[in-house]
Chains A and B, each alone.
Chain A
Amino acid sequence: KAGVTQTPRYLIKTRGQQVTLSCSPISGHRSVSWYQQTPGQGLQFLFEYFSETQRNKGNFPGRFSGRQFSNSRSEMNVSTLELGDSALYLCASSLIPGDNEQFFGPGTRLTVL
Chain B
Amino acid sequence: AQKITQTQPGMFVQEKEAVTLDCTYDTSDQSYGLFWYKQPSSGEMIFLIYQGSYDEQNATEGRYSLNFQKARKSANLVISASQLGDSAMYFCAMRVSGEAAGNNRKLIWGLGTSLAVNP
User: Which residues of A are interface residues toward B (Cβ below 8 A)?
Assistant: 3-4, 31, 33, 35, 42-45, 48, 55-56, 58, 88, 90, 92, 97-98, 100-107, 109
| Contact present for A100 and B35 (CB under 8 Å) | yes
B96 to chain A, nearest CB (A): 11
Report the separation of the CA atoms of residues A95 and B50 in the bound assembly, to the nearest whole angstrom.
17
Residues of B within 8 A of A90 (CB): 43-45
Residues of A within 8 A of B44 (CB): 3-4, 90, 104-107
A77 to chain B, nearest CB (A): 20
Residues of A within 8 A of B37 (CB): 104
Of the stretches B16-24, B69-77, B99-107, the one at the interface is: B99-107
B107 to chain A, nearest CB (A): 6
| Contact present for A98 and B50 (CB under 8 Å) | no
CB within 8 Å for A58 and B112 given contacts A100-B35, A102-B47:
no
Q: Can you spell out 7 A-B residue pairs with CB atoms less than 8 angstroms apart? A: A3-B44, A43-B107, A55-B103, A55-B105, A98-B105, A104-B37, A106-B42
Please classify how large the interface on chain B is, using the bins under 10, 10 to 19, 20 to 34, 35 or more: 20 to 34
Q: From B47, B98, B109, give the contact of A101 (CB < 8 A).
A: B47
B91 close to chain A: CB less than 8 A = yes
Report the separation of the CA atoms of residues A102 and B107 in the bound assembly, to the nearest whole angstrom.
11
Residues of B within 8 A of A88 (CB): 43
Residues of B within 8 A of A106 (CB): 42-44
| Contact present for B107 and A56 (CB under 8 Å) | no
| Contact present for A56 and B103 (CB under 8 Å) | yes
Contact with A along B41-63 (1 / 0, CB 8 A): 01111110010000000000000
| Contact present for A33 and B105 (CB under 8 Å) | yes
B23 to chain A, nearest CB (A): 13
Residues of B within 8 A of A56 (CB): 98, 102-106
